[in-house]
Amino acid sequence: MESGRTGPADITGKAVASFDGADDERLRELMQALVRHLHGFAAEVGLTQQEWRSAIEVLTATGHITDERRQEFILWSDTLGLSMFVDALANPLPERATESTVLGPFYVPGSPLRPYGADISEQSAGTPALVHGRIVDATTGEPIAGAELDVWQNGDNRLYAVQDPEAPEHHLRGRFQTREDGTYAFRAVRPVPYPIPDDGPVGRMLAATGRHPWRPAHIHVIVRAPGYQTLVTHVFDRESRYLDSDTVFAVKPSLVRTFVERDPDDPETPAGIDGPWCSLECTVALAPGPAREVADPGRTA
């Protein structure tokens, strides 16, 4: 036994070395870097024992509030910018490809396949919006037939169907396929800004630090096509509040588009609309490459 006092660096060294024997090289790298950075963080801020206890309480509360509908861990990742950071690391897309952004906590797989032009709202949800455009190859500009758009959004009550016990399960979500010429169209509603769920530990962090919980209005889409990288992104409404202060840092200027306001006597008014509506042209360019499964860490079903 060596004599001498034990300091913080000795403890870090032992904790890092404890993973030396891990067979899985990547797991060893992750765990050793995690220990180094955690200890480095504590050293940098001079973490007190009371603050350490508070952090444990916050993590405990995060676990308690999380269930198959509420994913507080993703909210932490989103509001700390980690979700966007990891997305940027994973998706270095070519120049002309449509940019990606976060999945968010409200994606639910298994939306119904709907026909060209169909309405995703299953009950009244706001100003009708005709969303249309093409899916194209980012390198050649050629249209992609049979690409799938998986869309979901909120309505004028700010809620996604998964948050709203009053809404039908498939309200404001659906899957669409592009036609031979790469075109798609669907009826949506104009999305509205919404606060992320702020009645839990993430909301308390935002309030304590003087941040707001709001996200600018957007429609979510995942675009999948064989032979192309799966794209997870949003389309943002150019007129929305909070474009410059999205609480999850997901706005990229190239994803901000114009919802064109239309009158009911406009000759292009879709059947069934008898009041003001709007249209949104949104062409999406996919990068060639392998498709991928979209992770859904919050739900196992």
Binding site for Fe ion (CB under 5 A): 104
For the chain, the DSSP string reads ---S---HHHHHHHHHHTTTT-S-HHHHHHHHHHHHHHHHHHHHHT--HHHHHHHHHHHHHHHHH--SS--HHHHHHHHTTHHHHHHHHH----TTSPPP----TT--S-PPB--TT-B--SS--SSEEEEEEEEEETTT--B-TT-EEEEEE--TTS--GGG-TTS-TTTTEEEEE--TTSEEEEEEE----EEPP-SSHHHHHHHHTT---EE--EEEEEEE-TTB--EEEEEEETT-TTTT--TT----GGGEE--EEE-TT-TTPPTT--S-EEEEE--EEEPBS---PPP-TT---
Minimum CB separation from Fe ion for residue 93, in Å? 21
Minimum CB separation from Fe ion for residue 229, in Å? 21
Q: Using the minimum distance from each CB to Fe ion, give the nearer residue, 233 or 279.
A: 233
Q: Using the minimum distance from each CB to Fe ion, give the nearer residue, 104 or 201.
A: 104
Minimum CB separation from Fe ion for residue 194, in Å? 7
Rounded CA gap, 66 and 60, in Å? Answer: 10
Q: Using the minimum distance from each CB to Fe ion, give the nearer residue, 152 or 184.
A: 152
Minimum CB separation from Fe ion for residue 177, in Å? 23
The residue behind tokens 């939306």 is 111
Q: Using the minimum distance from each CB to Fe ion, give the nearer residue, 219 or 287.
A: 219
**Backbone phi, psi, residue 125, to 5°:** -145, 10
Minimum CB separation from Fe ion for residue 195, in Å? 11
Q: Using the minimum distance from each CB to Fe ion, give the nearer residue, 104 or 298.
A: 104
Of all residues in the shown chain, the one whose CB is closest to Fe ion is 104
Minimum CB separation from Fe ion for residue 1, in Å? 58
Q: Using the minimum distance from each CB to Fe ion, give the nearer residue, 96 or 212.
A: 212
Distance of CA 115 to the CA centre of its chain: 25
DSSP β-bridge partners for residue 228: 288
Minimum CB separation from Fe ion for residue 48, in Å? 37
For 104-127, the DSSP string reads -TT--S-PPB--TT-B--SS--SS
Q: Using the minimum distance from each CB to Fe ion, give the nearer residue, 104 or 197.
A: 104
Q: Using the minimum distance from each CB to Fe ion, give the nearer residue, 104 or 133.
A: 104
